Structure 1
Amino acid sequence: MPGTAMRSPQEVRELLAVRYRRGVVTWLAAAGTAPNWPVALPLHPPTAAQARRDPAHVASWISAWEKADSGTLPWRVNFEERAWSGLGRQLVPVRVEINEPRAVAQLTGNLEDWDLLNGRVNHLAHQWGADTDAAREACATAVGQVLAAVRKCDAENFDRALRVIDWMAAHPDSGMLLRQVPVEGMDTKWLERHRSLVQTLLAARRELDALPGGRDLGLRQETRPRDVIVLDPALRPRAPGMPAGSAIRHLRIDSEQLAAMWTAGSRPAPGVVVVCENRQSLLSLPDMEGVIAIHGGGYAVDVMGALPWATRLPLVYWGDLDQDGFAILDRMRHHHGDVTSVLMDTATLDRHHSLCVPDPHPQAGRLTRLTAAEEQTRTALLDRGGVRLEQERIAWDWAEPHLRAAVVAVGASAGEYRADHYDDSSQRVI
């Protein structure tokens, strides 16, 4: 039929479902005052001409709304009389009205969701703000910021989150490590899963109580140790009294200790840093003059921008040949200005193609700091079906000479690495 289509009961439910998704947080904040209720939706009833063209369809539509107005559903259907030439007088549905958000939730299959969210906002507003309108609005806004987490959180974990928030509000600068916090059930994994929920609701509570701190948990971060291999024997630390030749090759230290390893102008000092993504490959690296190697540890490569002695040294990055590997490389270049990749090229991919496996994360989005050759390799991984080549699978007789050559090249170009310490025929340290 021409003109605006008549809205069926199902179409009105679908329209209300969209309004619920978009408006639930606003409705939670205003529950009790409800300034914009009831909501009225026009049904676009047919004209006389439409009724004459298709009387069976119009009659079916009217019948559907008569059934929908039986009193079992929480809406009110308004009918008006129409005098249609040739069809006589008809009572025609013209609009439907809904009185409150909970009715919309019931009509759209979201009643359980509404009761959960509304109950939690009620509880927070009562606990933190004596049920004032301002408290309800602040709590509803906070819940809206972490809506998915609130919905996912069961009663036990939501109660635990509130106990954690109470404790942190009372101890804003505890300086404790996470596992020291005396709240039952709160451990590292729990807070990792619920951190956004806790921080957002904590900020709301502090705002209502005029407390400082915002989202800050007030905890002391446990520094993550990082594996470092000192490939140059001359650079290896040795404790007082240790005999010569007993210097430490493999260190496991936190970032603060790593940052203090070499001060500006100290000699001897490293000339090249190799960042190796996987620990087993890191432990397999051979001795190289002037070189230290650091475990990359995934996306936590921002540490490379926080090492004073490394800011002007060239970095060689050896990561997995996959989308994550290139994303990490891109991220590292954000934190350090001189990063060269190695063994992340099409030649390495071609040589080891039979060892590739499906990449569980085949898309890494747009990267802006890759070279043309790196981008070509990244595209080749996608073109071959979204595969990845793990760093450890690369044959060592292929990996070692390419790694040594990359170290020599970047050291020579930076003027910091003494390439004359290598025998070109064997590529071994003399």
Structure 2
Amino acid sequence: MAGSRARGVDAAKAPEAIRDIVATYLARHRYDATPAWPLTFTVRWPDQRTLTSQAPDWHKANNTLRDWAQHQGCLTTLKRRLMVTPVALIDTVTVADEATALRVVGGQGARQYRKARTRIDLLTRELGVSRETSSAVAKTLDRESDTDIALLIRAARFFATHDAAGMTPRQVPLAGFSAKWLDQTHIKRRDAICTLCGKDSLDFSERPTELRMRWLDPAYTDEPEMVITKAWQPARERKVRFVIIVENKDTYQGMPPVRDGLCVWGCGRAIEASISLLPWLGAACEDNCGDDYGARVVYWGDMDADGLEILDAVRQAGVRCRSLFMDIEAYGRYSWFGTNLKPEGTPIATRDPKATPTLNPGERELYRMVCGAGSSGRPEYLRVEQERIPLVDAVDVLRSFGWQVINHQYEEDQ
């Protein structure tokens, strides 16, 4: 079996090294249909001269490793080495099975592994699917709550015997479910249901993608907000030189007048789909590109992992936008506005950073930090919300980009 391949560890730090390797193995293989065991470790001892000259230290290391292995329930083999007199040193340590591995690791690593295996067992038992299928679904929905996994099982049973073709997700008669539980933002749940039911698609009738915008140019600010569901571009007589995409509604509504300006409400991750309704943006920003990205189109979102992933997605969609207050320098200036709580009061979780090829070094450094993977460890706050940053500060930066911001209320108050 793959798990039996020997791994070398230095004798002086063998218990710690074995624990770290086993923890990594459990994390990587917790969603395997059948994790491979055992894990065997070869203990590396120093050369004969060092063993002899430092015999008391190596006797102690051998006794420590022996006692640790016995306490954890690990199997060991011995080999004879000369340390003044012949001594039986531990040659290999074997973690024979899952139960032993969990004792070795303990703590959060063991809890995460048990959670994954419990979910695989639950899906297999409740829905009668193979462990391979259960493993794949459980891995896909790793970040879903236990409540959502229970709802998934109920939904899979429903769709296995009912046809919801032509309905919108909110019209499906699933008792006890939020109307938003199967929205397009939860595509992984839909895919998981299809996998569990053996279907290619749930054949929903989707709501059209929607995007909200408002004019910032004072000549048009009395006009109502625009809501578009089809590809749109401004009329020839309306010059659009500056476009700002903002993540949150308060900032969208509060943006000051900008001559030849347009404000787009990204509405969080919804912009990843709705940006396609403005196909001219990619070409438009090419006209005024400076530095790395054109100042003509600006994206301003939260300083958190989601916000920076959205920024990367917008750029990958072809919009070469400059970010506003979304790099490590901005975090240093505004981190005291930060939070570690979601709107409902639950903690914001750390995550593994994704590939974000369009982020510049300052943005990428911030992204890794707010994922909890920065070189200095977890920051004080994992989120600095866009709305907390004073608009007067945004005006100063936009003007430095060449934007024609006019009659700003905060300037008038000073």
Q: TM-score range by the shorter chain?
A: 0.5 to 0.7
Q: Deviations over 1:37-71 (max 9, x none)?
A: 3322112245543331111112112221332344x
Matching of residue 160 in structure 1 with residue 151 in structure 2: yes
Matching of residue 212 in structure 1 with residue 186 in structure 2: no
Change (3 A) 1:113 1:275: closer
Distance, in Å, in 2 between the alignment partners of 1:308 and 1:285 is: 22
| Contact in 2 for aligned 1:320/1:391 (Cα 8 Å) | no
Segment of structure 1 superposing worse, 177-186 or 314-323: 314-323
Q: Among residues 14, 19, 33, which one is paired with 2:25 in the alignment?
A: 19
Shift of 1:252: 4.6
- The match for 1:226 is 212
AA at the equivalent of 2:151:
R
- The match for 1:306 is 277
AA at the equivalent of 1:29:
A
Distance, in Å, in 1 between the alignment partners of 2:227 and 2:93 is: 68
Change (3 A) 1:358 1:320: farther
Distance, in Å, in 2 between the alignment partners of 1:389 and 1:365 is: 29
- The match for 2:90 is 93
Change (3 A) 1:196 1:106: farther
Matching of residue 186 in structure 1 with residue 177 in structure 2: yes
| Contact in 1 for aligned 2:256/2:405 (Cα 8 Å) | no
Alignment of 1:93-112 (within 5 A): 93-109=90-106, 110-112=109-111
AA at the equivalent of 2:82:
W
**Number of positions where the alignment pairs a residue of Structure 1 with one of Structure 2:** 321
Change (3 A) 1:174 1:270: farther
Change (3 A) 1:197 1:107: farther
Structure 2: runs of 5+ lacking an equivalent: 1-7, 246-250, 288-294, 325-332, 339-355, 361-383, 407-414
- The match for 2:391 is 390
Shift of 1:176: 3.4
Distance, in Å, in 2 between the alignment partners of 1:292 and 1:56 is: 77
| Contact in 2 for aligned 1:38/1:98 (Cα 8 Å) | yes
Q: Greater Rg, structure 1 or structure 2?
A: 1
Distance, in Å, in 1 between the alignment partners of 2:120 and 2:277 is: 42
Distance, in Å, in 1 between the alignment partners of 2:115 and 2:77 is: 31
Q: Deviations over 1:184-213 (max 9, x none)?
A: 45336655798265145224314xx3x222
What RMSD in Å do the two structures reach over aligned CA positions?
Answer: 5.3
TM-score by length of 1: 0.55
| Contact in 2 for aligned 1:177/1:222 (Cα 8 Å) | no
Q: Deviations over 1:80-129 (max 9, x none)?
A: 4x263741x43321111122233212211133333221121122223444
Change (3 A) 1:270 1:308: farther
Change (3 A) 1:185 1:223: farther
Percent same amino acid at aligned positions?
A: 13
> Match of 2:177, SS?
coil
Alignment of 1:305-384 (within 5 A): 306=277, 331=314, 358=334, 366=358
Matching of residue 198 in structure 1 with residue 189 in structure 2: yes
- The match for 1:136 is 131
Matching of residue 250 in structure 1 with residue 235 in structure 2: no
Change (3 A) 1:195 1:103: farther
| Contact in 1 for aligned 2:141/2:189 (Cα 8 Å) | no
